[in-house]
């Protein structure tokens, strides 16, 4: 089977045969329904695309790999995506200005690298050990997500990594993100209200105009971060918070303390 067999005219029969052969599926226009009931473990998809607004219902994406693939405003409902990898993929549909939707999905150990997830929502999804790197999450909503995990009789600590991501205008309120990594991220005008960022790493991130009422920054590391007009009095906790010397006057100003140079 040649690469021309995976052209835009790929049929379901050819798709199934190619998937079973273990060879990468490249340069193909796919239908969401084709993935139902398929074993996608170790399957590789390169430069593929799905129809706008496609619905993936209870599809097993575990351990699959996707690169340069388009999922325009697609919905992933009750899908198992554990350990899947997405690189340079887009879930945003410019024609309708809509993002994707991961509803009640298991995204544990999923990796998103250089992905466009603008306006994507993740209602009630599992996100233990999820990784977002160099990705666009402008206007995305993670409300209702669970970043923890129960293993046997014990609950594991939350795990999540966001590095060099655009999270401006994103909704990250009412979340438990203890010990998460949020470095080099743009959180401008994001909603962080009532979120637990205890022991979190927020070095070099931007918090300008973010909503921070009842945000817990206890022992959080904010060295090099742009704190904007962060008011300590609005926080739930800030004991042990680490900041750079150059940030002290901003925090003291928020407490109404005037700092004059020596």
How far, in Å, CA of 142 to CA of 132, rounded?
13
- What number of CA atoms fall less than 13 Å from residue 55's CA on the CB side? 3
Q: Sort 9 into a burial class: Cβ within 10 Å, 0-12 / 13-18 / 19+.
A: exposed
Task: Find out whether 206 and 182 touch, Cβ atoms under 8 Å.
Answer: no
Closest alpha carbon to 108 in 129, 134, 87, 84: 129
Task: Find out whether 210 and 189 touch, Cβ atoms under 8 Å.
Answer: yes
Our CA angle for 167, 170, 172, nearest 5°, is: 105
Task: Find out whether 167 and 187 touch, Cβ atoms under 8 Å.
Answer: yes
> What is the predicted pLDDT for the residue at 262?
62
Among positive and negative, which fits the CA dihedral 109, 122, 132, 129?
Answer: negative
Among positive and negative, which fits the CA dihedral 49, 55, 60, 63?
Answer: positive
How far, in Å, CA of 112 to CA of 9, rounded?
28
Closest alpha carbon to 139 in 181, 191, 87, 96: 191
> What is the predicted pLDDT for the residue at 191?
98
> What is the predicted pLDDT for the residue at 154?
67
Segment 48-76, tens digit of pLDDT: 999 999 999 999 999 999 999 999 999 99
Give CA separation, 186 vs 9, 68, 139, 209, in Å.
Answer: 41, 24, 12, 11
- Segment (H or E) for 16: helix 12-21
Extract the runs of DSSP E, i.e. beta strands, from the chain: 25-26, 29-30, 44-46, 49-50, 55-57, 65-67, 75-77, 85-87, 101-103, 111-113, 130-133, 149-151, 154-156, 160-163, 181-183
SS3 (DSSP) at 14: helix
- Give the mean pLDDT of the chain: 91
Global pTM value: 0.90
Q: Which residues of the chain fall below pLDDT 50?
A: 1-8
Tokens of 238: 């800030």
Our CA angle for 96, 113, 125, nearest 5°, is: 70
How far, in Å, CA of 117 to CA of 139, rounded?
9
Residues counted in the chain: 262
Give CA separation, 58 vs 15, 20, 73, 90, 183, in Å.
Answer: 19, 20, 17, 21, 33
> What is the predicted pLDDT for the residue at 231?
84
> What is the predicted pLDDT for the residue at 131?
98
Query: Phi and psi for 241 in degrees, rounded to 5?
Result: -65, 140
> What is the predicted pLDDT for the residue at 3?
42
């Amino acid at each position: 089977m040649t690469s021309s067999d995976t052209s835009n005219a790929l049929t379901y029969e050819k798709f199934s045969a190619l998937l079973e052969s273990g060879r990468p599926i490249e340069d193909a226009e796919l239908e969401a329904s084709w993935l139902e009931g398929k074993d996608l473990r170790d399957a590789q998809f390169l430069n593929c695309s799905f129809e706008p607004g496609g619905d993936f219902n209870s599809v097993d994406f575990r351990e699959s790999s996707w690169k340069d693939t388009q999922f325009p405003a697609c919905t992933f409902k009750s899908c198992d995506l554990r350990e899947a990898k997405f690189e340079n993929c887009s879930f945003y549909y410019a024609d309708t200005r809509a993002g994707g939707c991961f509803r009640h999905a298991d995204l544990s150990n999923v990796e998103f690298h250089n992905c466009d997830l603008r306006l994507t929502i993740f209602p009630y999804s599992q996100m233990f050990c999820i990784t977002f790197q160099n990705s666009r999450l402008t206007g995305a909503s993670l409300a209702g997500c669970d970043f923890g995990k129960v293993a046997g009789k014990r609950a594991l600590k939350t795990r999540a990594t966001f590095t060099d991501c655009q999270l401006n205008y994103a909704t990250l309120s009412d979340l438990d993100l203890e010990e998460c990594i949020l470095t080099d991220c743009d959180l401008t005008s994001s909603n962080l209200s009532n979120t637990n960022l205890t022991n979190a790493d927020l070095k070099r991130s931007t918090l300008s105009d973010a909503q921070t009422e009842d945000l817990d920054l206890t022992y959080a590391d904010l060295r090099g971060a742009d704190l904007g007009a962060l008011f300590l009095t609005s926080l739930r906790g800030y004991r042990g918070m680490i900041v750079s010397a150059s940030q002290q006057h901003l925090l003291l100003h928020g407490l109404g303390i005037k700092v004059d140079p020596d």
